[in-house]
Amino acid sequence: MVSLKSLAKETAIYGMSSIVGKFLNYLLVPLYTIALPASSGGYGVITNMYAITALLLVLLTYGMETGFFRFANKEGEKPDTVYSTVLTSVGFTSLVFVALCLCFLKPLSSFMGYGEHPWYLGMMLVVVAMDAFQAIPFAYLRYKRRALRFASLKLLFIVLNIALNLVYFVALEGQDVGATFAINLACTSVVMLCLVPELRGFSYAFDKALLRRMLSYSFPILILGIAGILNQVADKIIFPFVYPGSAAEAHVQLGIYGAASKIAMIMAMLTQAFRFAYEPFVFGSAREKDSREMYAKAMKFFVIFTLLAYLAVMFYLDVLRYVLGRDYWSGLRVVPIVMAAEIFMGIYFNLSFWYKLIDETRWGAYFSLAGCAVIILMNVFLVPVWGYMACAWAGFAGYGVAMLLSYFVGQKKYPIRYDLRGMGCYVLLAAALYVPAMYVPIANLWWRMAFRTVLLLVFVACIVKRDLPLKHIPFLNRLAR
């Protein structure tokens, strides 16, 4: 129980930083979608560029974050040696990568469709190299349970990024999409300077034998990571190549899809916050006798609260849509599909620890590759027919396949007794509340919001009654006394 309380505390800290950070980042969505109208295709360029850099970030960290947690917690290993070895390895490969890319920037940018603006790509290549290196000090902060330091640096980047964007797009009334990449580069550089203390205070030691063992462990995770990130961004990378219209129209449609998907990222916030605390928690508690029971409980609460978030977003979508410029509203039909896909992804992530704990990470690669294949094939064949709606359904199908494969194989390799009945009841309840909320016609916005609020409170009441009695909440329990 102490471990679960620690998990809850750290999830709260990571969650608040993630939620606050993502909320502040939402300020950029109306800013961009107003300053860059859908017809300009500017937001499509941003969506495509960040999808490319997300894939590159996975390649440049090559599974070493998870490898660091695994080996730093292994008996007989020296955590500082593990840290310095990983730091040196990732730092070297990131430096070589950015140097080579800048040498061949013109042909690379032409191939990616940015021949007229090569430094759009150049700036983001420098950013992704720095991000890959920074991933290791941030992992070290998580290992040391320094959640506040981690959160403060993440928020520093976000606040500074927003401030500079406001200066350029509002105060200076700028309209060059390239400014967003320049601002990102500046903010990433500031965070790099702030991480200097995490690069000192210990003796650097590069252990080649340790690195070989870590690479052997992490390589399947790299394949898993590539497949996993492709599950998230393949549609945004592939879309301009397979959309039947012109390149300009492809960026317009991609911008609409990317902007609308931002609303669904509330689910991504929750899964990311849970991951930051859950990964070190799992490896740290793997030797405890009741660890499987704790994993099962954590899964159940994850499902419960992601369903709550799903209902909240969908019930108040008529208000949340004002986050976007009006000419992006046509893309809001993807929100329920993308959010459901994010739930599948979160469940899949929670299920994934069985193969990490028994050092059979190749299974994760198999599952993610299967899901990735579904996503890529659906995008290639269906985007020309359905446009960006195919992107949403491809993510839903791909994550669903990976989730189911991981569950059924995991129950044979590392069985955990999940409360499937309890979680199933919440899924059915959420569906039963969703249908009247979406399909009962109420013209007046305020009455419609009031009706949906009542339905949401019904779901909350069921959570309190079945799984989270008020007497178990310390603050309320003290008030009752």
Each residue of 246-284: pLDDT tens digit? 878 998 999 999 999 888 877 766 666 665 555 555 555
Q: What is the pLDDT of residue 202?
A: 76
SS3 for 478? helix
Let me know: does 363 contact 351? Beta carbons within 8 Å: no
For 86-119, the DSSP string reads HHHHHHHHHHHHHHHHHHTHHHHHHHTT-TT-HH
d(CA 28, CA 345): 25
Task: Give the pLDDT mean for 92-99.
Answer: 95
Q: How many helices (H) and strands (E) does the chain have?
A: 20, 0
Contact at 8 Å (CB) between 98 and 126? yes
Residue range 449-470: average pLDDT? 88
Chain-centroid distance, C-alpha 139 = 16
Q: What's the rounded mean pLDDT across residues 297-317?
A: 89
Query: How far is the C-alpha of 125 from the C-alpha of 134, rounded, in Å?
Result: 14
Here the tokens at position 276 are 């930051």
Q: In this predicted structure, what is the pLDDT of residue 26?
A: 67
- For residue 17 the two structure tokens come to 């930083």
Question: 407 exposed, middle or buried (CB, 10 Å; 0-12, 13-18, 19+)?
Answer: middle
CA quadruple 59, 62, 64, 70: dihedral sign: positive
Q: Could you tell me the pLDDT band of residue 353, with boundaries at 50, 70 and 90?
A: confident
Contact indicator for 94, 59 with CB cutoff of 8 Å: no
Count of other CB atoms within 10 angstroms of residue 278: 21
Angstrom distances, CA of residue 478 to CA of 460, 474, 475: 21, 6, 5
Residue-wise pLDDT for 464-480, tens only, equals: 888 775 555 544 455 44
User: Is the pTM here over 0.85, yes or no?
Assistant: no
CA separation for the pair 481, 228 (Å, rounded): 48
How far is residue 32 from each of residues 23, 86, 183, 252, 474, measured CA to CA in Å?
A: 15, 37, 14, 13, 43
Contacts of 6 (CB under 8 A, 6+ apart): 281
Q: Which helix (H) or strand (E) holds 174?
A: none
Residue type at position 230: L
- Give per-residue pLDDT as tens, 35-64: 888 888 889 999 999 999 999 999 999 988
Under DSSP, the state recorded for 167 is: I
Neighbours of 408 (CB within 10 A): 10
Residue 223's pLDDT is what?
78
Do 422 and 300 contact (CB within 8 A), yes or no?
A: yes
What DSSP line would sit under 294-342, residue for residue? HHHHHHHHHHHHHHHHHHHHHHTHHHHGGGS-GGGGGGGGGHHHHHHHH
